[in-house]
Amino acid sequence: MIRRLCLSLVAAGALSAPAHAFDLNELSKYLTPENIESATKIINNTVEANQVVGPRQEVIMGQNVMATLLGAAPLVKDAALQRYVNQVGTWIASQSAQPQLNWHFGVIDSPNINAFAAPGGYVLITRGLWNQLRSEAELAAILAHEISHVINKDQIEAMKSSNRGAITEELITAVLNHKVQGERLDLAKKATKAATEGLYIKGLSKDTEYAADLNGMLLAARAGYNPYAMVSMLQTLGNVSPNDSAVALFFSTHPSPQDRIDQIDRKIGDQLEAYANGVDNTARFSKISR
């Protein structure tokens, strides 16, 4: 059975790694009428289920999805918080199968409890979720879960399997170079709205979420954190009233926290106990304003 469900909150030295905060000046160029509505590039074509989405396409998709999300809820105006989350996220990502991605992490100013990942190495968590966290290891668990979605291309596969994406490189380039106008731009706007809602409101499959939990625990352990903080974080979320509007979208797009804990118990149990003495908390977590 799973042990160490409660965090010890033992202080540990800060892990460090190069951090790349969101460059708002860079992303702002995507917040135009021509581009913000092209988040996942659906216009006329339908991607074949077996079509390969290359690295450049993933980055373009991710930039546009993030621009759309940031248009709805901007980053929290706290440079220390953004820098800290980027440091933790970048360190964890450096232990993943794709450390070479130009990873970006941020906290958006939304009271809802949720987290988002997009192709190309983009991860956002909400202020509401940040305020629920009790340790750096819990933050690491969430970021590792989202990083796993990116590594496994879960969002891309979801769009492909549901025929939501015209992801040809020629089409993406045309959109970003302002070559899509008139009726085709209107189609892009409508398609983008449908795709974004389908992916981030409908959510991914339960099996995909379960897998991201398990892979996230392994990744957190590799990064030096207590992997069972994933369970602690899920317990915290499970204690939030389902009637609370802040968790309405989260609960509708994810399996219940208890179901996720049960899956971890069945698949991992105490097999990661040797890594349970990893970092639970750090002094820098306490210093960030909450």
Model pLDDT, residue 281? 95
Range of 60's domain? 51-289
In a domain, 16, yes or no: no
Model pLDDT, residue 162? 53
pLDDT digits (tens, 9 = 90+) for 235-279: 999 998 888 888 877 777 788 999 999 999 999 999 999 999 999
In a domain, 171, yes or no: yes
In a domain, 25, yes or no: no
Backbone CA torsion sign across 186, 187, 188, 193: positive
Model pLDDT, residue 128? 94
Model pLDDT, residue 241? 86
Model pLDDT, residue 96? 96
State the Cα–Cα distance between residues 197 and 62, nearest whole angstrom.
Answer: 15
45 and 187 in contact (C-beta within 8 Å)? no
State the Cα–Cα distance between residues 235 and 261, nearest whole angstrom.
Answer: 8
pLDDT digits (tens, 9 = 90+) for 160-202: 655 444 443 444 444 444 444 555 555 444 444 445 555 555 5
Measured CA to CA in angstroms, residue 77 lies from 64, 160, 248 at distances of 21, 35, 25
In a domain, 86, yes or no: yes
Residue 252's SS3 state is helix
- The residues, any chain, with a CB within 8 Å of residue 33's CB and separated by 6 or more, are none
In a domain, 236, yes or no: yes
In a domain, 197, yes or no: yes
pLDDT digits (tens, 9 = 90+) for 125-151: 999 999 999 999 999 999 999 999 999
pLDDT at 19 over 90: no
pLDDT at 210 over 80: yes
Model pLDDT, residue 49? 39
- Does an H or E element contain 22, and which? none
Q: Report residue 103: phi and psi, to 5°.
A: -65, 140
- In 47-64, which positions are buried (b, 16+ CB within 10 angstroms) versus exposed (e)? beeeeebeeebbbbbbbb
In a domain, 145, yes or no: yes
Beta strand 281-282 pairing with 122-126: unpaired
Torsional class of 169: left (φ above 0), alpha (ψ -120 to 50), beta (otherwise): alpha
Q: Please list the alpha-helical segments (H only) found in 20-135.
A: 24-28, 55-72, 79-94, 127-130
Total domains in the fold of the chain: 1
7 and 229 in contact (C-beta within 8 Å)? yes
pLDDT at 203 over 80: no
pLDDT digits (tens, 9 = 90+) for 34-92: 443 443 343 233 334 345 567 777 777 777 778 777 878 899 999 999 999 999 999 99
Model pLDDT, residue 18? 40
Residues paired with residue 124 on neighbouring β-strands, in sequence order: 106, 116
